[in-house]
Amino acid sequence: MLTSTQPEWLTEPADLNALPPRLWPASAERAADGVLTVGGLRADDLAAEFGTPVYVFDEADFRARCAEFRTVFDDFDVYYAGKAFLCRPVARICAELGLHLDVCSLGELLIAVSAGFPAERIVMHGNNKSAAELATGLRHGVGRIVVDSFDELGLLRELAAEAGVRPQVLIRVNVGVHADTHANIATAHDDQKFGFSLRTGDASTAVATAHKADELELVGLHMHLGSQIFGLDSFEVGVRRVMEIRARFLREHGVSLPEVSLGGGFAIAYLDHHRPSTPAEIAAGLREFTRRSCAELGLEPPRLAIEPGRVLVGRSGITVYRVGTVKDVAGLRTFVSVDGGMSDNIRPALYDGLYTGVLASRRSTAGPMLSRVVGLHCDAGDVVVRDDHLPADTRVGDLLAVPSTGAYCRSLANNFNQTPRPPVVAVRDGQARVWLRRETYDDLLALEVE
């Protein structure tokens, strides 16, 4: 007899209809008849109007979190990391609420600029920025460029000279800290592609080279440890190491670098028992690590920046799917298939991302059923919710909603199995607005040229 292996954290929930506030956007609740509502709009109405799957984005929730970060980190520059989820309305909200913006591709830069985002508040990232990308950034007058390699340093000097501008740059330092997160999103141990290695001395060489380059204005250092990091221990180590480079630079060149960006990576809860650090804890920690290192090393404290992505946008978005098949495999679990999957949320396949799901089209009084929510793709890794309990009466035609899909879902969406990408519908005060329309089969066919 087969028995299913369940993760130890998976306990039977007291209420299968609950919407834990830690996971759901602020406006999520159930209407009197049990239907999930977000932003004052019913999931069944949204599904009828916009189809499924659909990303539903609580605009007020996102605004509130941006405003919270702006307040809690009032002595920092707060760059929203656009790779978590970027479209023009998101860029405009960030601009309006006083945030800066981190872009890491020409596409992200073009979206930001086309939204009217102030270029001087944009920072450009990337380990392989093209000449076209850098030249476009220079032409628009982006505020900062974070240099990632010696090749880029040379290219940027040439392009700046050609353009007759003197960009402000930071040097990305690989501080050699292995943050406790999934391997694909740990970005500051020695053996990965980002930044100049502190261990080999490349970081100090790069800082000195940028300082001597007349074409560039070196303003500081940058580190980014990775993503979905729960605690602050790795930040403490990283801050210390970055400040040591600043101290060495001060000794050798007599110049105190005025800026340090500590990157992003702050975790959110995907499951109800997750306990990420709060914004206030993060701010207090980063301030204290910086104050202490600078005091010990005899440095002026720098202007600090952070680059939060997931933590600003993750909880604002949910995905609503329709159940297409329910397959009970006796003794194991029930596979509930929805009409999306790894094309709209690749995080379970890519990073072992964990999610929960609830019935959205009704409240159920049935008992718990050990379930795995899977997609429609021809790949056994096509999982949306790996382990959860759904009501035992979950059936074909039900709507199922997955919370905490605001970050790294639409931005990583793909066309696997020639699947059109779902729309993003923003909801607020009973109004729905399409921020990104659904891709169509005509869009896909339009790529075919032969």
Ligand X SMILES: *Cc1c(COP(=O)(O)O)cnc(C)c1O
Which stretch, 10-18, 36-44, 257-265, 317-325, contacts ligand X (CB under 6 A)? 257-265
Two structure tokens written together for 260: 């340090």
Site membership for ligand X, residue 266 (CB under 6 A)? yes
Tell whether residue 322 is among the known ligand binding residues. no
Burial class (CB in 10 A: 0-12, 13-18, 19+), 219: buried
Contact 421, 415 (CB under 8 A): yes
Contact 423, 436 (CB under 8 A): yes
Give the distance, in angstroms, between the CA of residue 250 and the centroid of all CA atoms in the same chain: 34
DSSP 207-220: HHHHHH-TT-EEEE
Q: What is the 3-state secondary structure (H, E, C) of 239-282?
A: HHHHHHHHHHHHHHHCCCCCEEECCCCECCCCCCCCCCCCHHHH
Pick the binder of ligand X from 83, 144, 241, 389 (CB under 6 A).
Answer: 83
CA distance 352 to 316: 21
Site membership for ligand X, residue 308 (CB under 6 A)? yes
Which stretch, 65-73, 305-313, 319-327, 355-363, contacts ligand X (CB under 6 A)? 305-313
Q: One-letter amino acid identity for 93?
A: I
| Residues 123-152, interacting with ligand X (CB under 6 A) | 125
Q: Is 66 a catalytic residue?
A: no
DSSP classification of residue 394: -
Tell me whether residue 278 or residue 325 sits nearer to ligand X (CB atom).
278
Site membership for ligand X, residue 195 (CB under 6 A)? no
Tell whether residue 351 is among the known ligand binding residues. yes
Residues 6 or more apart in contact with residue 151 via CB below 8 angstroms: none
Size of the site for ligand X (CB under 6 A): 17
Residue 282: how many other CB atoms lie within 10 Å: 23
Which stretch, 204-212, 308-316, 326-334, 413-421, contacts ligand X (CB under 6 A)? 308-316
Pick the binder of ligand X from 25, 264, 317, 422 (CB under 6 A).
Answer: 264
Region of 217 on the Ramachandran plot (φ > 0 left; ψ -120 to 50 alpha; else beta):
beta
DSSP classification of residue 187: -
Angle at 305 between CA 299 and CA 202, to 5 degrees: 65
Contact 94, 80 (CB under 8 A): yes
Would you report the helix, strand and coil content of the chain in percent, each value rounded to 5?
Answer: 35, 25, 45
Pick the binder of ligand X from 44, 61, 307, 398 (CB under 6 A).
Answer: 307
Site membership for ligand X, residue 224 (CB under 6 A)? yes
Tell me whether residue 24 or residue 69 sits nearer to ligand X (CB atom).
69
Nearest distance in Å: CB 406, ligand X: 11
Nearest distance in Å: CB 66, ligand X: 13
Tell me whether residue 168 or residue 256 sits nearer to ligand X (CB atom).
168
Which stretch, 155-163, 261-269, 355-363, 381-389, contacts ligand X (CB under 6 A)? 261-269
Which of 66, 87, 378, 409 is catalytic? The answer is 378
Pick the binder of ligand X from 265, 302, 353, 357 (CB under 6 A).
Answer: 265
Two structure tokens written together for 124: 């450009």
Tell me whether residue 50 or residue 57 sits nearer to ligand X (CB atom).
57
Tell whether residue 321 is among the known ligand binding residues. no
Site membership for ligand X, residue 276 (CB under 6 A)? no
Site membership for ligand X, residue 81 (CB under 6 A)? yes
Closest among 55, 77, 80 to 66, alpha carbons compared: 80
Nearest distance in Å: CB 5, ligand X: 29
Binding site per annotation, positions: 265, 307-310, 347, 351, 408
Binding site per annotation, positions for substrate: 310, 347, 351, 408
Q: Which residues bind ligand X (CB under 6 A)?
A: 81, 83-84, 102, 104, 125, 224, 227, 263-266, 307-311
Query: Which active-site residues does the annotation give?
Result: 378
